[in-house]
Amino acid sequence: MSLPLEGLSAIVTGAGRGLGRAEAVELARLGASVVVNDFGQSGRDGSGEASAAPAEEVAEEIRAAGGQAVAHLGDVADFEQARELVALAVSRFGKLDVLVNNAGILRDRMVFSMSEEEWDSVIRVHLKGHFNTTHFASAHWRERSKAAGGPVYGRIVNTSSEAFLGGSAGQPNYAAAKGGIVGLTTSTALALAKYGVTANAICPRARTRMTEDVFAGFQVPEEGKLDALAPEHVAPLVGYLASPAAAGANGQLFVVHGGIVVVMERPRVAAKFDTAKEAFSYEELDGLLTPHYASRPAGETFAAAEVLGLKHD
């Protein structure tokens, strides 16, 4: 019996630890040949010397289990290194079929205290990093489609966050980057559909070094009990979205953690106001909008975690 991803090749960025590692291992388990990318810096803020060790260890783990994998030490936010990453997958495995963008860093601070460098660095790794790999992968698929005279196989799985959906006061750079990734995903989905390529995004909940502060109040369950925040519970959705079975999912956003997958809708109209004249005046808007917001709880904002019933006490 063939595996769902047998004969396919995949890139997973930021795959040396945590969520990326779990995703790379799962794709390999499902039959894919995997390029394990990681810049290997020790700090979750992107500090420390680059090291091939994290990517090499995961690639060796995959090979030891009988799979095919090669490590890549590279900064996906660097345009040329992203080009080399895609070229490595093509040269080693003949083609690229799946791209999972996961690499990221944190530089948390309130918006009034954040430095320009803290803003730029997070936008660079998350948003530009997603763009760089997507650019070269999509060019690869477009060229293959032209040569084949029709659609080819391609899957993109991007990593957003509930920090974008529900807000995160101390992460304006991270929330903005993750929101931008959703925009990149939906645009890419529309642009590449005719070539046979799908693009989707996930908002994962997983306990990793990136989220150790977020989930500080959640205790690791006793041995033998389900850890709903284990990265391994996110990986199966990534495997599914990378597979032929997910051909009907394109431009979608999923929230996922242990035992839960939520398919998000695009924003819907919450209220609509029409002017009684040809155009609105300040006075008319005051008469319509002020009562509307006065009827809502003070300081109320859209909080996806609460809407989804996922917020902890």
Q: Could you read off the pLDDT of 200-211 as tens digits, one per residue? A: 999 998 665 555
Residues ≥6 apart with Cβ < 8 Å to 71: 35, 36, 37, 38, 52, 55, 56, 58, 59
Q: Percentage of the chain with pLDDT > 90?
A: 73
Mean pLDDT of the chain: 89
**More confident site: 279 or 296:** 279
Q: Which of 128, 161, 195, 240 is labelled catalytic?
A: 161
Note the pLDDT of residue 150.
97
**Which of 62-66, 150-154, 181-185, 231-235 bottoms out in mean pLDDT, i.e. has the lowest?**
231-235
Q: Which of 121, 178, 195, 243 is labelled catalytic?
A: 178
Note the pLDDT of residue 155.
98
Note the pLDDT of residue 167.
83
Q: Under a CB-based contact definition with an 8 Å cutoff, are residues 36 and 73 in contact? A: no
The C-alpha atoms of residue 247 and residue 32 are separated, in whole angstroms, by 17
* pLDDT of 310 over the 50 cut: no
Q: What does the pLDDT average to over 288-307? A: 68
Both structure tokens of 137: 């992968």
Q: Which of 153, 174, 195, 240 is labelled catalytic?
A: 174
Q: What does the pLDDT average to over 125-133? A: 98
- Known catalytic membership, residue 293: no
- Known catalytic membership, residue 225: no
Note the pLDDT of residue 295.
81
pTM for the model stands at 0.88
Predicted confidence (pLDDT) per residue in 14-51, tens digit: 999 999 999 999 999 999 999 999 997 665 566 667 78
Q: Under a CB-based contact definition with an 8 Å cutoff, are residues 11 and 33 in contact? A: no
For 279-298, give one letter per residue: b (16+ CB within 10 A) or e. Answer: eeeeeeeeeeeeeeeeeeee
* pLDDT of 305 over the 60 cut: no
Q: Percentage of the chain with pLDDT > 70?
A: 85
The C-alpha atoms of residue 283 and residue 116 are separated, in whole angstroms, by 39
Cβ count near 70 (within 10 Å): 20
Q: What does the pLDDT average to over 240-256? A: 97
Predicted confidence (pLDDT) per residue in 103-118, tens digit: 999 898 999 999 999 9
The C-alpha atoms of residue 157 and residue 98 are separated, in whole angstroms, by 8
- Known catalytic membership, residue 240: no
**More confident site: 252 or 215:** 252
pLDDT tier at 220, thresholds 50, 70, 90? low
Note the pLDDT of residue 207.
63
Both structure tokens of 145: 């489609």
Note the pLDDT of residue 44.
58
Q: What does the pLDDT average to over 273-287? A: 96
